[in-house]
Structure 1
């Protein structure tokens, strides 16, 4: 299957887990009427529903259960913490998510929003935006980054494709003026002077940072540049041992 975009790529990666056990059949839009969201079975609204787990955890914590009465008396507009259906929520600027304290629930949320077949292994920024709308806890961003960095599939898919960085080598500093000089060209200048110069050769002493500006032409050859630079070098007592561009 040819991948058209990143959304299709995430689905393609998730479907690979079930290769050999499923048969993918393409259907036209007017034939495919059973949408995925409408075909799912709803969870029973009983105590076995996983949505009731945070409520049970909150009431088992004695210190948190004693503070719920004070939160109930507080107006929603005054504080960032509020109770909705018996679950403590934290309100920020644009989101409102339930507060989690149990490490087991935090790991479950991280698993569902990253490794689930409906999540698609999102990046840490997009994963953080989705989790904020559902749950919040201390050190949330750190946990999300550790979850993404520890995912073997994400590390293989987002590996660096550029060249490796070279080893850092200490560059010896010059001890006298004009021992080392740097050269570069400034082009795309308007023509000027008797010879209609349209470029400038810049020579900088690395020791004193003293610059020299020489008019030249954009199409000058290496020989022309060498002759111009030699005229400058011979005017100084210390001739450069190294010239770099």
Structure 2
């Protein structure tokens, strides 16, 4: 039993490729690696098939580059495209570590390609629109 868990640990450590290179090749199919401090009690010899090549990340190559992420397509109320015609569907996304419900909104003066995902508080007459959306979903669900 101990042997199997040791093999699994070696496989798990090897699959993460934390080392930039191996120390030395012992045989055709075995290498000795330099392990991180947290794995200092583990045996440093691994089968070659478990060791993946190490590639520097972009952060290592370009330390001054800003890590940018594109924000979700959310429209504030003042940026709205006019009054809301109907709410088409809803989704739940994670934004700044918290879940937020958003609604796909079609505007009265726009075509379907201008539909936008809006947070509940960004929908004009939100309570009225959401009540209608909930009622229409219950009706559709009951007919199935």
- Superposition TM-score tier, normalisation by shorter sequence: under 0.3
TM-score (normalised: structure 2): 0.27
Q: Which has the higher contact order (CA 8 A, sep 6+)?
A: 2
- Which has the greater radius of gyration? 1
| TM-score using structure 1 length | 0.18
